[in-house]
Amino acid sequence: MNLLHRLKLIRVGQITCADVQFGDLTVLVGPQATGKSIFLQFLKLAQDTGYVHEQLRRHGIEWERRVPEFLDVYLGEGMRGVWREGTDGSAVSVNGHAADVAEWVAPRHRFRKATVFYIPAQRVLSLANGWPRPFQGFASEDPFAVRDFSETFRLLMEQEFSPTAALFPKTNRLKKEYRELLAHHVFGGFGLHVDRHGAQKRLVLRREKDPQSIPFMVWSAGQREFVPLLMGLYWLMPAAKVKRRENLQWVIIEELEMGLHPNAISVVLLLVLELLWRGYRVCLSTHSPHVLDVVWAIRVIQQQRADPTRLLDVFKVRKTGPMKDVAQATIGKKVQVYYFDRTGEARDISNLDPGSENHLEAGWGGLSEFSGRVNEIVADIVNGSPGLATEPKVEPATGRSAGQGDASKEPELPGLMP
């Protein structure tokens, strides 16, 4: 299979035109309902057509051989409308070549292993009563990505983990540095265990030497969001001394920040760097400026040819040998950032220059725009000039330069710049 490096969606759902060239790390930002999730699910479909078919068949799901009907199954019931047919209809191109999406829908003999591991935004739905739901435990309106993630989570629990050992902390999956940070910022001293409640297995939190178990429904919102993500990361980091799992090449994580305090988000971002070090290509969608903070730091270190381990300072993590390797590998990676806007376009804002004349880039696709406005208004208030916030406007630098005025209207003042 050729490596997918570019995916373009035209007139698909809210998307008018999203032409994304992937880096090793690709980050999608933008307001709600601008097509980021649809785009990522098409990436999964483009890469894993055979796997998707195989899983649907295995779980007794059939579909009509038309794209809208297939998307009703794949994206979830009611989503057929994202695909428009006709001359001005929806289109997809892969690596610059038009893709025949109708052919994706047809059963064919294809590669049936997953190459993309998708951790969806709705990952918390995978845990019902503290145990992962099987694929068929979901309704038809649930997207394939959610059902498949949950099924993988279930397989991991039932096939790879001992029912008696702690799931966190767990020595053979995550590096010690990550375990320490997660213990501090996410689990707050609790361990994650499998417990039996009657005949029913369930995940619980428990302190060491304390028999009292904390069931799923009374975990903090952040813990409920994080545990499925952690299990996804365990899946991607096999216990054996191999960096990647089987055929997996890509990891998609939607809204990794969900429910998490900024300190915990930082740890998850560090784990994203671990995925990069392991050779995965990672796609993130996010509403968190923290994610772009890290991307910005990576780009500046790259541009300045600075010591890669400065990246570890961002996370306040010890500069051990393994962590230095992770930082070194990350700085060698290509990072791309796209902004999905309300008009349906995806714009490349990878430079993330806070001083950019492109307000989308300077405002990081809206993630820091609000803070910028607050800063300006606060500055005006401090100066006792309540009206000023409405007056001077900086950037975009499209105004005429000094000395470039229209001489026909007013006499030229002496001393203006030529």
Per residue, what are the HEC states of 131-192?
EECCHHHCCCCCCHHHHHHHHHHHHHHHHHCCCCCCCECCCCCCCHHHHHHHHHHHHCCCEE
Nearer to another protein, 318 or 373 (CB): 373
Minimum CB distance to another protein, residue 310 (Å): 13
Instruction: Return the bridge partners of 196, or none.
Output: 201
Name the token pair of 183: 């213990």
Q: Establish if 356 lies at the interface with another protein (CB under 8 A).
A: yes
Q: Which of 99, 289, 323, 337 binds another protein (CB under 8 A)?
A: 289
Which span (77-85, 197-205, 312-320, 358-366) binds another protein, by CB under 8 A?
358-366
Q: Which of 280, 300, 329, 351 binds another protein (CB under 8 A)?
A: 300
Q: Which of 178, 296, 338, 340 binds another protein (CB under 8 A)?
A: 296
Q: Establish if 360 lies at the interface with another protein (CB under 8 A).
A: yes
Nearer to another protein, 68 or 372 (CB): 372
Minimum CB distance to another protein, residue 238 (Å): 37
Instruction: Return the bridge partners of 283, or none.
Output: 26, 252
Minimum CB distance to another protein, residue 340 (Å): 11
Q: Sign of torsion, CA 239 240 244 248?
A: negative
Report the candidate in 227, 256, 275, 249 with the shortest Cα–Cα distance to residue 117: 249
Site string for another protein, 70-109 (x = CB under 8 A): ----------------------------------------
Nearer to another protein, 24 or 353 (CB): 353
Nearer to another protein, 208 or 406 (CB): 406
Angstrom CA distances, 392 to 105, 362, 372, stand at 55, 17, 14
Which span (110-118, 216-224, 319-327, 349-357) binds another protein, by CB under 8 A?
349-357
Q: What is the CA radius of gyration of the chain?
A: 24
Nearer to another protein, 195 or 369 (CB): 369
CA 16 – CA 97 distance, rounded (Å) = 18
Nearer to another protein, 156 or 388 (CB): 388
Q: Establish if 374 lies at the interface with another protein (CB under 8 A).
A: yes
CA 19 – CA 25 distance, rounded (Å) = 16
Site for another protein in 375-414 (CB under 8 A): 375-376, 378-380, 382-383, 385, 388, 390-405, 409-414
Decide: helix, strand or coil at residue 307.
coil
Q: Which of 27, 293, 330, 361 binds another protein (CB under 8 A)?
A: 293
Give the binding-site size for another protein (rule: CB under 8 A).
Answer: 57
The length of the chain, given as a count of residues: 418
Nearer to another protein, 166 or 300 (CB): 300
Looking only at Cα atoms, what is the longest distance across the chain?
A: 90
CA 28 – CA 40 distance, rounded (Å) = 9
Minimum CB distance to another protein, residue 384 (Å): 8
CA 393 – CA 400 distance, rounded (Å) = 13
Report the candidate in 44, 66, 40, 65 with the shortest Cα–Cα distance to residue 55: 44
CA 267 – CA 260 distance, rounded (Å) = 10
Q: Establish if 16 lies at the interface with another protein (CB under 8 A).
A: no
Minimum CB distance to another protein, residue 341 (Å): 5
Asked if residues 72 and 78 have their Cβ atoms less than 8 Å apart, the reply is yes
Q: Where are the alpha helices (DSSP H) in 111-156?
A: 144-155
CA 55 – CA 74 distance, rounded (Å) = 11
Q: Establish if 320 lies at the interface with another protein (CB under 8 A).
A: no
CA 365 – CA 35 distance, rounded (Å) = 14
Nearer to another protein, 280 or 296 (CB): 296
Nearer to another protein, 139 or 397 (CB): 397
Chain CA centroid to CA 24, Å: 13
Nearer to another protein, 42 or 296 (CB): 296
Quickly tell me which residue has 């050779």 as its tokens. Answer: 279
**Footprint of another protein on this chain (CB under 8 A)?**
289, 293, 296, 300, 341-343, 353-357, 359-360, 362-364, 367-369, 371-372, 374-376, 378-380, 382-383, 385, 388, 390-405, 409-417
